[in-house]
Amino acid sequence: DAGVIQSPRHEVTEMGQEVTLRCKPISGHDYLFWYRQTMMRGLELLIYFNNNVPIDDSGMPEDRFSAKMPNASFSTLKIQPSEPRDSAVYFCASNLLAGATDTQYFGPGTRLTVL
């Protein structure tokens, strides 16, 4: 398996624009997680899915952020409108078993810069 795939790897956009980050989890994994990493706040869980259903989105910072998982092999994280403070590295991770007690496999991340 190619591992967790994320696209794009880098995204530069202007404030107010819509940004869509994409993730393909490892085939067969039931759980998918979206994280945000910044120097100030570290690695934060934004939302996670089990079998394509959002389970906990309490980490989503505000209504500008939304995430979907239309099928088992694809998820998106959308920011609309984007703001400079959204600049961060966004990671997608997946795992096979109970999400919290099993290895999480992280993708390479998307580095987002909002000007």
Partner 1 sequence: GENVEQHPSTLSVQEGDSAVIKCTYSDSASNYFPWYKQELGKGPQLIIDIRSNVGEKKDQRIAVTLNKTAKHFSLHITETQPEDSAVYFCAASLNDKVIFGPGTSLSVIP
Total residues in contact with partner 1, by rule CB under 8 A:
21
Separation of first and last alpha carbons in the chain: 36
Q: Is 106 in the site for partner 1 (CB under 8 A)?
A: yes
Q: Is 25 in the site for partner 1 (CB under 8 A)?
A: no
Angle in degrees, CA 82, 111, 69, rounded to 5? 70
Kind of pairing between the strands at 88-95 and 74-79: unpaired
Q: Is 50 in the site for partner 1 (CB under 8 A)?
A: yes
Q: Is 53 in the site for partner 1 (CB under 8 A)?
A: no
The alpha-carbon radius of gyration of the chain (Å, integer) is 13
List of residues contacting partner 1 (CB under 8 A): 4, 31, 42-43, 45, 48, 50, 55-56, 91, 93, 98-101, 103-104, 106-109
